[in-house]
C-alpha cells in the first residue's frame, strides 16, 4: 500500500496537518462523515462505523511506523471513528451534532478513566483508536440519557438555534 495513501487516510484527508488543534480538525471531518452515514439505516450505519474503526486501527498503526512517532498528532482518523460512535442511534439535529462535537472534544482532551490509562499504557493503532472509541461511547451514553430523561432541552435548543438566525 503506498505510503501517501496511508498518511492521507490516517490524517483524515490531511486534516491532521492543520497547525492548530488537529484533533478538532479531524473531528470536523467526522461530522462530515456522520452526515453521510446518518443517511443510512441503523444496521448500515453500524457496519460503516465498524469498517471506519477497523480502517482507523490499520491506518493509525501503519502511520506510526511511517512517521516513526508514537500517536502523532497528525493521526486523526481515530477522531472520525470516535465521533461516529458518539453519534450512533442519535437523531441528526443541529443540537446533537454540535453537542456531540463539544462533548467528544472535551472528553478526548481531559481523558477521564479509563481513556487516559488506555492512552498511556497501550501502544500502536489499537491504543490510538481505542481511547477515542471509549470517549465516543461516553458521549453517546450522555446524549442518549439526555434524550431519554430531558428530550425537551435538546428540542428547545434546536428550535431556538433555528429561529435565532
**Structural domain count of the chain:** 1
Residue 103 in 3-state DSSP? helix
- Give the CB-side neighbour count of residue 70, counting CA atoms within 13 A: 7
pLDDT score recorded for residue 153: 63
Residue 13 is placed in which grid cell?
484527508
Mean confidence (pLDDT) of the chain: 91
pLDDT score recorded for residue 162: 56
pLDDT score recorded for residue 33: 98
Q: Given the C-alpha cell 484533533, which residue does it identify?
A: 23
The phi and psi torsions of 119 (rounded to 5 degrees) equal -60, -40
Contact 74, 10 (CB under 8 A): yes
pLDDT score recorded for residue 55: 97
**CA atoms of 113 and 93, how far apart (whole Å):** 29
pLDDT score recorded for residue 93: 85
Which domain does 127 fall in, by range? Answer: 3-164
The phi and psi torsions of 18 (rounded to 5 degrees) equal -55, 130
pLDDT score recorded for residue 158: 60
Residue 63 is placed in which grid cell?
502511520
**CA atoms of 116 and 95, how far apart (whole Å):** 27
pLDDT score recorded for residue 161: 54
Low-confidence ranges of the chain (pLDDT < 50): none
Amino acid at each position: 500500500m503506498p505510503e501517501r495513501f496511508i498518511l492521507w487516510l490516517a490524517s483524515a484527508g490531511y486534516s491532521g496537518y492543520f497547525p492548530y488543534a488537529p484533533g478538532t480538525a479531524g473531528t470536523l471531518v467526522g461530522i462530515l462523515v456522520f452526515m453521510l452515514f446518518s443517511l443510512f439505516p441503523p444496521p448500515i450505519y453500524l457496519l460503516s462505523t465498524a469498517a471506519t474503526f477497523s480502517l482507523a486501527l490499520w491506518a493509525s498503526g501503519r502511520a506510526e511506523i511511517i512517521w516513526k512517532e508514537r500517536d502523532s498528532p497528525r493521526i486523526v482518523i481515530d477522531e472520525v471513528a470516535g465521533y461516529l460512535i458518539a453519534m450512533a442511534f442519535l437523531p441528526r439535529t443541529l443540537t446533537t451534532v454540535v453537542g456531540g462535537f463539544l462533548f467528544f472534544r472535551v472528553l478526548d482532551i481531559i481523558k477521564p478513566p479509563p481513556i487516559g490509562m488506555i492512552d498511556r499504557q497501550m501502544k500502536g493503532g489499537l491504543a490510538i483508536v481505542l481511547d477515542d472509541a471509549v470517549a465516543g461511547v461516553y458521549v453517546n451514553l450522555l446524549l442518549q440519557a439526555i434524550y431519554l430523561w430531558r428530550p425537551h432541552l435538546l428540542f428547545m435548543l434546536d428550535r431556538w438555534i433555528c429561529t435565532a438566525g
